[in-house]
Structure 1
Amino acid sequence: MPLSRFSAALVVLLAACSGAAAQDASTLKKDMIGQWELATTERSKTCVVTLKGDAAPQGFKLELEPACAAALPFTKGITAWSIKGLGDIVRLQNAAGEAVIDFTEVETGIFEGLRTNEGVYILQNLAAARSLAKSMDQMIGDWSMVRGNGQAICTLVLTNTDAGNDNFQVFVKGKCDPAITAFNPTLWRLDHGQMLLMSAKGETWQFEADDNAQWRRVPDTAAPLIMLREQ
C-alpha cells in the first residue's frame, strides 16, 4: 500500500532527525577528544581524564591519572566513555557500558553531571580549568576599593574559602565608606570574565577588568568604583 503524503513526510522528518543526531554525536565525539578536568563544583577535588578516539568495548578508550581513585573514588569503576542520548550526553561508563556518571553541556566546554547522594561534578577542558584556577589564585588577597579620583574607601579580603555554589568568602577589613558598609559584601566569585561581589541580602555588584589591570564596577557611573590589588 503506497505511503500517504503524511506518512511519507513523517519518514523524511525522522530520517532527517536521525541524520542530525548522528552528526551531532560525531561532532561532540570529535570535540571531546583530549584532556579534561573532572572535579567537584568548588574544585576541592580534581582528576585529569584523557578521552581518546580509539574504540573500546561499548565505547571509546580513556585514561585516568593515578590520583583520580583517591580524589574521586567513584572513578575506580570508569573504563570507557561514549556519546549517548540524542548525541548530547557524554557518558563515563563501567565495563558493562552502564553509566558511572552522565554529563550534559551547560556552557561551551563545560559539562555538568549528577551522582545521586553525592552531588554535581564538572567536566571542563583541562587548559581552561587551569586558566580559571590561575585566575582565581591571582584574586586571593587584599584589595582596595577606590573612587574614580583615587580616594581609598575600603579594603576587602578575597579568600579561597568555599561558601558553596562556586562562591567564596570575602571580608571587610577595617573601616569602610558607608555605601560599602551598607552593601556588606560576604561572597565573591569569577563568572564569565566578571568578578562578582554579593551581599548577605542577595545583592550583586559586578566588576570588569579594564586596561589598567584594575576591576571597575559596571555599569559605569559618574562616581565609579574601582578595585585595586594592594601591594
Structure 2
Amino acid sequence: MIRSLTFLAITVGAITLAGAGPSLAADAEQVKAQAGSWLVAPENGAKGCHLTFETGEAAGGHPITGGQTCAAALPDLAGATAWNIGDDDMLAIMDATGKVLLRFGQEEGSPWETAEGDPIWLLPALGDVDHVPSIESLVGTWQLQRPGGEALCQVALLADKDEDGTAKMSLTDGCPSSITDMKLSLWATEGFGLVLMGSEGTALSFDMNAAGNFDKSKEDGGQPLLLIRQ
C-alpha cells in the first residue's frame, strides 16, 4: 500500500557478509510479527519465490522453509535456511553456514527492499501471486466499480510519463463527481500498492488482491471501490 506520493528511498547500506550472520536484535514480538509466508521478488516485476519465516531457533536466527522453490527465479536463495533482524534493523536471509544471501532495509510504510544491486522486495505473500506489479504489467484499461458490480467508469493506465517520470492516466466520461473532482492524472506503484494521483495533491490508493485486481485501501475511507482489469 502506498501511503506517500513520493517513493521513499532506502538510505541504509547493504553489505553482504560471509561467515556468521549479524547479531540478533529482534525481540519476541518482532519475530512473531515477521512469521509467515513472504514473497521475495524483483522490483521490475520479474518472477520471484515464496519463503516461510518461522519463529523457532536456527543457526544465526530463525528457520526459513521453502528455499528450494527459489532455485529457478532467485537461485541465490535456494539455500536459504534462516532469517533474523540485526541490531542495525536490517533483515537478513542466510544459508546454513551463516552466509548472508540478501539483506533488506525498510522505511515506514514501504516494503522491505535491498539496497545493493537491482532492487528486490520482500512482501507478505498474497496467495499464489509470484511477482510484484510493475508499471509495464499494469498498463491498460481498468474498470472502476463498486464491490457489488456496479460499473462507474474506466481508467486508462498509460505508459507515457510526465517530465518527472511518473506514468500518466485518464478517466472516461461517467465517473462520479467524487472521482472527477480529484483531477486524477498520474499513477504509480510500490509493492502491492497502486495509487492514482491528482494535480492538487489528491490521491486514491488501492491494494492488490490475490486475483490480481485492486481494492481501494481501507485507510482512504469512503465507499469501497474496485479496479478490475478489462
- TM superposition score normalised by structure 2: 0.52
Partner of 2:77: 75
Partner of 2:31: 29
C-alpha spacing 1:101/1:66, structure 2 compared with 1 (3 Å): closer
Partner of 2:196: 196
Secondary structure of the equivalent of 1:71?
coil
Matches within 5 A, 1:81-96: 81-86=83-88, 88-96=89-97
Partner of 2:149: none
Partner of 1:211: 223
How many Å separate the matches in 2 of 1:85 and 1:23?
5
One-letter identity of the residue aligned with 1:29:
V
Matches within 5 A, 1:4-83: 24-64=26-66, 66-83=68-85
Does the aligned pair in 2 maintain the 1:109–1:124 contact within 8 Å?
Answer: no
One-letter identity of the residue aligned with 2:204:
F
How many Å separate the matches in 2 of 1:196 and 1:184?
6
Partner of 1:16: none
Partner of 2:141: 141
C-alpha spacing 1:72/1:24, structure 2 compared with 1 (3 Å): closer
C-alpha spacing 1:98/1:170, structure 2 compared with 1 (3 Å): same
Query: Which whole-Å deviations, capped at 9, do the CAs of 1:128-150 have from their partners, x for residues lacking one?
Result: 995x969x999951569xxxxxx
Partner of 2:118: 119
1:156 shift after superposition? 5.3
How many Å separate the matches in 2 of 1:96 and 1:85?
20
Secondary structure of the equivalent of 2:105?
strand
Q: Larger RCO: Structure 1 or Structure 2 (Cα < 8 Å, ≥ 6 residues apart)?
A: 2
1:37 shift after superposition? 1.0
Does the aligned pair in 2 maintain the 1:109–1:125 contact within 8 Å?
Answer: no
C-alpha spacing 1:170/1:66, structure 2 compared with 1 (3 Å): farther
Larger Rg, first or second structure (1 or 2): 1
5+ residue gaps, structure 1, are 1-20, 145-153, 175-182, 215-227
Does the aligned pair in 2 maintain the 1:110–1:125 contact within 8 Å?
Answer: no
5+ residue gaps, structure 2, are 1-22, 145-152, 173-182, 206-215, 217-221
Partner of 1:151: none
Does the aligned pair in 2 maintain the 1:54–1:61 contact within 8 Å?
Answer: yes
C-alpha spacing 1:124/1:109, structure 2 compared with 1 (3 Å): farther
Does the aligned pair in 1 maintain the 2:156–2:169 contact within 8 Å?
Answer: yes
1:193 shift after superposition? 6.9
Does the aligned pair in 2 maintain the 1:25–1:83 contact within 8 Å?
Answer: no
Secondary structure of the equivalent of 2:157?
strand
Does the aligned pair in 1 maintain the 2:105–2:115 contact within 8 Å?
Answer: no
Does the aligned pair in 2 maintain the 1:112–1:121 contact within 8 Å?
Answer: yes
Q: How many pairs does the alignment contain? A: 171
Secondary structure of the equivalent of 1:106?
coil
How many Å separate the matches in 1 of 2:197 and 2:31?
37
Query: Which whole-Å deviations, capped at 9, do the CAs of 1:83-122 have from their partners, x for residues lacking one?
Result: 3125x2221012221211112232358312233xx32211
Does the aligned pair in 2 maintain the 1:143–1:158 contact within 8 Å?
Answer: no
Does the aligned pair in 2 maintain the 1:195–1:207 contact within 8 Å?
Answer: yes
Query: Which whole-Å deviations, capped at 9, do the CAs of 1:124-181 have from their partners, x for residues lacking one?
Result: 1114995x969x999951569xxxxxxxxx975226x799xxx98556699xxxxxxx
